[in-house]
């Protein structure tokens, strides 16, 4: 079917924020006596779901909200200089014109996303940007988007780069497209049985065929 609404994750799906996020995490790890991430273990971490990732780094779950808020704040001063995922700029405007509702749902802040989009001349591409302050809060927001626009869950699709994006979409009863160019590896993503798995941005056009 043709999806009426396309909802995108931001970090790793639209914005190439991985290296900056790892840098910010290591700064915070030093401040909180946590184990830093070494360059040679990033490939290994890309195969992990969120809970395993936090356990591997021995990050206390009670500390996660504080780290998310602080990391998001630190990213603000750097967000404008970060690049788009290669090839995504050619795809998003075309998809937007063919969608009834074209939005972003992210764990990042609305302010950071809007600054990034403005810097890259894409402020008018998306009809809305929504944010959740929790790493695992996207399912609730996806259901809210359905109510806001009076559309059925099967009429929208969520596009993201992480295992938690797939889990959130399934919890909300929403179809999901996983993209293999972000944080989690394609092997890890396909194991979660998304409706689609794309390896290049241009393949996103298949969602509206």
Q: What is the pLDDT along the chain (209 residues), one digit of tens a residue?
A: 579 999 999 999 999 999 999 999 999 999 999 999 999 999 999 999 989 999 999 999 899 999 999 999 999 999 989 999 999 999 999 999 999 999 999 999 999 999 999 999 999 999 999 999 777 789 999 999 999 999 999 999 999 999 999 999 999 999 999 999 999 999 999 999 999 999 999 999 999 87
- How many domains in the chain? 2
Q: Is 16 left (phi over 0), alpha (psi -120 to 50) or beta?
A: beta
Residue 35 and residue 101 in one domain: no
Determine the Cα angle at 101 with ends 99 and 102, to 5°. 80
pLDDT at 1: 55
Residue 131 and residue 63 in one domain: no
Domain around 201 = 5-16+82-208
Please give the structure tokens belonging to residue 206: 């298949």
91 backbone dihedrals φ, ψ, rounded to 5°? -95, -45
Chain centroid, CA 196 distance in Å: 16
pLDDT at 179: 98
In the sheet with 5-8, reading across from the earlier edge strand, the strands are 128-131, 101-106, 5-8, 156-160, 176-179, 196-198
Residue 125 and residue 197 in one domain: yes
Report the distance separating Cα 104 and Cα 10, nearest Å: 7
CB count within 10 Å of CB 37 equals 18
Residue 103 and residue 183 in one domain: yes
pLDDT at 182: 96
């Amino acid at each position: 079917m043709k999806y009426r609404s396309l909802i995108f994750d931001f970090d790793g799906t639209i914005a190439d924020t991985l290296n900056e996020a790892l840098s910010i995490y290591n700064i915070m790890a030093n401040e909180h006596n946590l184990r830093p991430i070494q360059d040679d273990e990033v490939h290994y971490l890309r195969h992990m779901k969120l809970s395993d990732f936090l356990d591997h780094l021995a990050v206390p779950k009670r500390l996660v909200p504080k780290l998310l808020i602080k990391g998001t704040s630190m990213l603000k001063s750097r967000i404008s200089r970060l690049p788009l995922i290669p090839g995504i700029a050619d795809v998003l405007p075309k998809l937007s014109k063919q969608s009834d509702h074209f939005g972003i749902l992210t764990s990042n802040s609305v302010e950071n996303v809007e600054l990034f989009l403005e810097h890259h001349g894409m402020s008018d591409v998306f009809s809305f940007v929504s944010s959740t302050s929790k790493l695992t809060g996207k399912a609730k927001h996806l259901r809210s988007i359905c109510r806001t626009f009076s559309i059925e869950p099967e009429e929208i699709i969520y596009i993201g780069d992480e295992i938690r994006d797939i889990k959130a979409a399934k919890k909300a009863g929403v179809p999901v497209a996983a993209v293999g160019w972000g944080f989690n590896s394609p092997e890890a993503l396909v194991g979660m049985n998304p409706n689609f798995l794309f390896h290049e941005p241009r393949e996103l056009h298949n969602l509206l065929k």
